Structure 1
Amino acid sequence: MKASGLASTSIEVGFRAATAVAVPLLVLWAVGRLDLAAYATFGAFTALYGRNEQYRLRLRSVSAAGVVLVASIALGVLIAVLGEPLPLLAAALVLVVGGGTLFVTALQLLPSQPLFFVFALLVCANIPTTAADAWPRIGLAVIVAVFSWLLTMSGWLVRRLAGGRRWTLLKELNRHPRADATVLRDPRVWLTVAQNVVGVLIAGGIALAFGLGHAYWAVVSLVAVIPPARAAHSISRSLHRIVGTVAGVVVAAALLFWSPPALVVILAIVVCQFFAEILVGRHYGSALVFITPMALAVSHLASPAPLAALVGDRVLETVLGAGIGIVLVLLARGVERARGLAA
């Protein structure tokens, strides 16, 4: 394979993202505190940002994303301490999904959706937490986020050591995102905000009304299906994301059905993180085949649940969230045609 072809597979960024989640999970395993796996994993998601960016730009992207991830985790922990009151959780969800959409669009981040912010908020809010446990859990997320930040920025030193030599595993830094101050004036962006806000409230409300376990998965599935702001509202792309999410649930079932040791689950999370990062910038539907089992494996480490209930709930919630997402995509296409907003 040519150097350029190898670089295009994002080996470098995949390795960084995998290391960011592997190190803290292995430390937690060694000290017998895998119940804290969710906070470490969400902090490690900091390493998912800044891909292919020059380091002066990456500094901004990764720092901003890390701050928002930690804020989402902290907000989720606070809601858990308060007993997860539904009105407060709904308000926080609207804030994170709406504000997150504006945030990733304004900074032109990849991943270009608020999916990981929403996921961090809802899972942390769902884990029973006492006031005494709150700060240590938030502190763990901060420590892992800082570690992931350092890891993500470490390529600067590697490239300095490489000098003028071109190493085949080093990704070409060819992405130059610019902060966009026009997002608040762009009706296409607000259309996406509306899709996400309305969608998460409907998906979460229906999942709760029908008593589905962990209703947050319907919300996460909805956010995964809604296209990024200013992207084409393509049904085919939304279907790819649905197929990717359902396939990911099947992969998770195959992984967890035999109740593997925790170390095996950690290894699976690391592998999924590696391939998710390789694919997330190229084909989001394929990336979800790895993002989904990674998410379910993290939930399993933090609070093991019977597999049949886990998989059954996830499939139903995926279909629910994705179905609502498809309806909203169709409605958005109609709005764009009516107002002439399509790019």
Structure 2
Amino acid sequence: MVRAGVAAALPALAGIALGHSAVAATATLGAFAVVYGEGRAYRVRWRVVSIAAAALVFLAGVGAAVGAPVHAAAAAGNSALGNSALWATVLILTMTVVVAVCAFVVDGLRLGAPGAFLPLLTVEIASSLPALGVSTTEVLAWTASGAASALLVSMSGFLVRRRNPERAAVAAAAAAVGAALSDSSSPTSRRDAVRALHAAWQCLHDAALVGRDHALTRALHAAHLRCASMVDGRDADHASDTDDLRPQVPLPRPSIRYRLGRAAHPRGRSWTIVARLLVACPAAGLLALSLDVRRPDWAVITAAMILHQGPDRVLGTYRGLHRFFGTVLGLGLLAVLATLDLTAAALVLVVALLMAGTEAFLVRNYGVAMVFITPLALVVGSLGTHMDLGVVTRDRLLETLLGVAMALVVLWTVLPRSYRRILRDADEQVAHTIGRIADTRDPVAVAELCHDLEFDLHASTTAAITSAHTDPAWTRTLWPEHHHLHELGYRTLARHLGPSM
């Protein structure tokens, strides 16, 4: 949380000191990259943040390049630039393509939150800056400065405590397991413990500590075995994250090529997400445009943020409610900020605090995160210039309502039985990988296939949970076969991986 705020504040305050107070807050767009490094070992963090930073700089340029003719057309009316509605449609379609591509990659790689949210938010904010006289070159330069700050701040602890991310991950997992053991009847506490253990193991894999006699590995393994003993035999009649916790140490993620290859399967969940985005985003934006609301891009981003995290209709509906009520509270916070006569430096500090709040709650509670994201997007998108608060509030609420409504309609009507196809496909892939392992004699190839199998088992569990949320009666009919396949899969892993350590 502190890193996110510092990464945004440093380049912006430097810009103010150099006399660029009007555009310095644009650096926040690049500073978003710091969020993608949280929880990762320093050994890989620099690479993850660098890739995210490069993507955000590119997308900021795309947003500004598309936004410039949009705002020029809006100002000129029916001039040589063409009808402003046409250029606004170009922005809507650009945002749709960006979120569809980002959502496919994020879901395919199973990167989790914040997912495609910050890339699309970057495009959306950058597209509004040309209306304030900020050129595409300036947007790129200031976003790049924020990206550089994100990398430096994200790696700042390496020279002092280079194992701090791993220690924090192991401590969080041990605490979650302890909480689950003290309240063993709570499915929520067991789920949180399993998720924390998997996250900690991936952190240790990234740090190249797994397989070594290290204090952190021993401590995590002990917590893992306590949790595995606690969940053994539970949740035998329905899908749960605990299905994926066995005494064996989880393997590292399979290759990017394998994960994207699996996502490319037309029957998988990633294409379901993309299909819904390609329907909802243009529909929300064009509907807002037809109602002559000034910022149809807000409707697009609202619909996208509800749909991009997965095909689960129940969780998507909750996200929609969080989005709307979080926006309402966020506009209230903006109204408070608007009453203050903030200097440029104070405004940067406010942006830094909003950035820190966004990072703190984006994974934990989307509704609370929206309380910070709403004023953050509006303040950075206006660069602190005067806003007609009444008009902004009206338009933001209307566009949010349109985006939420369109997302929920699409969520419940487009590919309504996709959860069945996704679960069947996931289980078929597990069976296929088990068969390949049985037919393979090369130990190296078997080890690689075991990585694939564990990933496939996780995907199958996720598909089963989504199916159970959406259609519990149908899922129960498939459960015996699904559960048997999972037991076979984990027995296969145990046989080929040997002891748990």
Per the shorter chain, which TM-score range? Answer: 0.7 to 0.9
1:189 aligns with 2:191: no
Which among 377, 383, 404 is matched to residue 322 of structure 1?
404
How far the C-alpha of 1:201 sits from its partner, in A, is 0.7
Which among 309, 315, 319 is matched to residue 228 of structure 1?
309
Residue pairs, 1:77-92, within 5 angstroms: 77-83=64-70, 85-92=87-94
| Aligned twin of 2:297 | 216
d(CA) in 1 for partners of 2:391 and 2:56?
29
Change (3 A) 1:294 1:265: same
Paired amino acid for 1:99: V
Cα offsets for 1:252-295 (capped at 9, x unmatched): 12221445444433222211211221112222222111111211
Would you say the 8 A contact 1:195–1:226 is kept in 2? yes
How far the C-alpha of 1:45 sits from its partner, in A, is 0.6
| Aligned twin of 2:55 | 68
Paired amino acid for 2:387: A
Larger Rg: 2
| Aligned twin of 1:254 | 336
How far the C-alpha of 1:15 sits from its partner, in A, is 0.6
Matched residue SS, 2:264 = helix
d(CA) in 2 for partners of 1:58 and 1:204?
36
Cα offsets for 1:190-220 (capped at 9, x unmatched): 1111222222211111111112122222222
| Aligned twin of 2:136 | 134
Which among 165, 175, 200 is matched to residue 174 of structure 1?
200
d(CA) in 2 for partners of 1:314 and 1:259?
23
1:21 aligns with 2:8: yes
Query: TM-score of the superposition, structure 2-length normalised?
Result: 0.59
Change (3 A) 1:49 1:175: farther
Report which stretch shifted further, 182-191 or 122-131. 122-131
d(CA) in 2 for partners of 1:171 and 1:255?
35
d(CA) in 1 for partners of 2:48 and 2:414?
29
Which among 206, 217, 221 is matched to residue 287 of structure 2?
206
Report which stretch shifted further, 135-144 or 28-37. 28-37
How far the C-alpha of 1:58 sits from its partner, in A, is 2.4
1:304 aligns with 2:403: no
How far the C-alpha of 1:16 sits from its partner, in A, is 0.5
Cα offsets for 1:29-85 (capped at 9, x unmatched): 334434324531111111111211122332342222112111111112222344563
d(CA) in 1 for partners of 2:421 and 2:294?
40
| Aligned twin of 1:288 | 370
Change (3 A) 1:109 1:330: same
Which among 54, 79, 102 is matched to residue 100 of structure 1?
102
d(CA) in 2 for partners of 1:322 and 1:231?
15
Paired amino acid for 1:325: A
Change (3 A) 1:236 1:110: closer
1:313 aligns with 2:339: no
Report which stretch shifted further, 171-180 or 214-223. 171-180
d(CA) in 2 for partners of 1:278 and 1:175?
22
| Aligned twin of 1:239 | 321
Q: Percent identity?
A: 30
d(CA) in 2 for partners of 1:48 and 1:297?
20
Change (3 A) 1:257 1:54: same
Change (3 A) 1:101 1:246: same
d(CA) in 1 for partners of 2:109 and 2:34?
16
Change (3 A) 1:215 1:33: farther
Would you say the 8 A contact 1:70–1:138 is kept in 2? yes
Would you say the 8 A contact 1:111–1:281 is kept in 2? yes
d(CA) in 2 for partners of 1:163 and 1:61?
14
Which among 409, 413, 419 is matched to residue 331 of structure 1?
413
d(CA) in 1 for partners of 2:104 and 2:417?
19
Paired amino acid for 1:184: A
Change (3 A) 1:112 1:191: farther
Matched residue SS, 2:142 = helix
RMSD: 3.1
Would you say the 8 A contact 1:227–1:238 is kept in 2? no
How far the C-alpha of 1:126 sits from its partner, in A, is 2.7
Change (3 A) 1:50 1:160: closer
1:158 aligns with 2:160: yes
d(CA) in 2 for partners of 1:18 and 1:122?
21
Would you say the 8 A contact 2:92–2:296 is kept in 1? no
Change (3 A) 1:161 1:237: closer
More contact order relative to length (CA 8 Å, sep ≥ 6)? 1
Cα offsets for 1:226-259 (capped at 9, x unmatched): 2513556422343223222222122112221445
Would you say the 8 A contact 2:70–2:88 is kept in 1? no
Matched residue SS, 1:109 = coil
Paired amino acid for 1:16: R
Change (3 A) 1:111 1:34: farther
Unaligned runs of 5+ in 2: 72-86, 174-198, 203-251, 424-462, 465-501
| Aligned twin of 1:119 | 121
| Aligned twin of 2:192 | none
